[in-house]
Homo-oligomer: A and B are copies of this chain.
Amino acid sequence: MRFEILQHDSNCNARLGQIHTPHGMVHTPVFMPVATRGAIRALTIRDIEELGFEIVLSNTYHMYIRPGTDLLQKAGGLHHFMNYHKPLLTDSGGFQVFSLADLRKVHHDGVEFQSHIDGSKHFFTPEKVLDIQRIIGSDIMMVLDECVAYPADLQTAKTAVDRTLQWAGRSYEYWHQNFDIDAQALFAIVQGGVYPDLRLQCSTELQHYNFSGFAVGGLSVGEPKSQYSDITAVTVPALPWDKPRYMMGVGSPPEILEAIRYGVDMFDCVMPTRIARNGTLFTTNGRINIKSSIYAEDFNPLDEHCHCYVCKTFTRAYLRHIYKMNEIASLIYNTYHNLYFMKYFMDTIQKSIANNQFMDEYNKWRKIYSNSEKNNE
């Protein structure tokens, strides 16, 4: 993997870049749709190609549980299994173990847990999650980290940072000894909760190793917006300028804007697709919920400024009707539109950085999305 910064906005830390991977190039800042179990919810893989996404994220924890590494190995990795041949990033499974799995127990060596599906016992170590990601064949792998829930007291957050740093060191050594590091990149993850000193410490110490990139974990987990902003402002500029920065699990327009302002390059989130299935749709005028009765006889497109297939083809009245009727087509159309919006949103951001106008874009979208944000998720 190679990262190239093409330009940075002279009025803030926003930057325009390219990540070169064995499966192709990714323009940054980028939003990555999530194929949790090897499929994007409610879309086909050709929809994802048509929408123009250059990278997709999949979840190591889920793929490890089902279909499992034996099958993935026989399939020749996840690219072949999904028949998707562009760049692929996988998380380490850490977040899922800490948020989804049952009866987890953190040891010095790794984390013990039970599958949320069948209760079977498993043990993840920093080395093991890399072995799984090798079999998956991801272009960008993530290290195992310890995630704490929000709120966490200082001591809990500190213990997690210590463990995260130890595991990052082991991950780095294992990666260097056992991987083709050009074929499969490895990103470290900064933890530290909402404590600026811990975040700074974690960011600094991770730089003892020459990771391919650096991610910020454990944000957008329920903390107030001001804390999200403050921690981002402290953490991101402390990371190496010449490496990609990835804000994990973040996907709302205001959060993305805030992070890009401080120099983040990559994002992923299931939110745009999840809220789509609930009828909440992004537009160039903010969020709307298609189930509202105000759209019952509205024969306008969902978003008159949007050029997606759904907006060019159907009316709000029709989209509301099929939503109310629980048609699967409603899930498809809503998801397609929201991902088209996310791609469009990132494209406008890229253009604004190229023109040194990111802060205009920031202000425009923040204004549009601060009004509609609270309504209906």
Q: Which residues of A contact B (CB under 8 A)?
A: 37-46, 66-67, 71, 74-75, 81-83, 296-297, 299, 309, 313-315, 317-318, 321-322, 324-325, 327-333
Task: Give 7 pairs: A residue, B residue, CB < 8 Å, sorted on A.
Answer: A37-B322, A39-B328, A39-B330, A42-B332, A66-B324, A71-B321, A81-B321
Residues in B with CB closer than 8 Å to A46 are 309, 313
CA A35 to CA B337, docked complex, whole Å: 22
Task: With both chains docked as a complex, state the minimum distance between the C-beta of A77 and any C-beta of chain B, in angstroms.
Answer: 12
Task: With both chains docked as a complex, state the minimum distance between the C-beta of A45 and any C-beta of chain B, in angstroms.
Answer: 7
Copies of this chain, complex-wide, total 2
Residues in B with CB closer than 8 Å to A66 are 321, 324-325
Q: Are A38 and B297 in contact (CB under 8 A)?
A: no
Q: Which one of A42, A67, A322, A330 has the highest number of Cβ atoms from chain B below 10 Å of its Cβ?
A: A67
A313 touches which of B40, B83, B324 (Cβ 8 Å): B83
Residues in B with CB closer than 8 Å to A81 are 315, 317-318, 321
**Given A66-B321, A81-B317, A83-B314, residue A329 in contact with residue B43 (CB < 8 A):** yes
CA A118 to CA B293, docked complex, whole Å: 17
CA A53 to CA B239, docked complex, whole Å: 56
Q: Are B38 and A313 in contact (CB under 8 A)?
A: no
Closest-by-CB residue of B relative to A329 is B39
Closest-by-CB residue of B relative to A326 is B37
Q: Are A41 and B327 in contact (CB under 8 A)?
A: yes
CA A88 to CA B344, docked complex, whole Å: 35
A38 touches which of B42, B43, B322 (Cβ 8 Å): B322
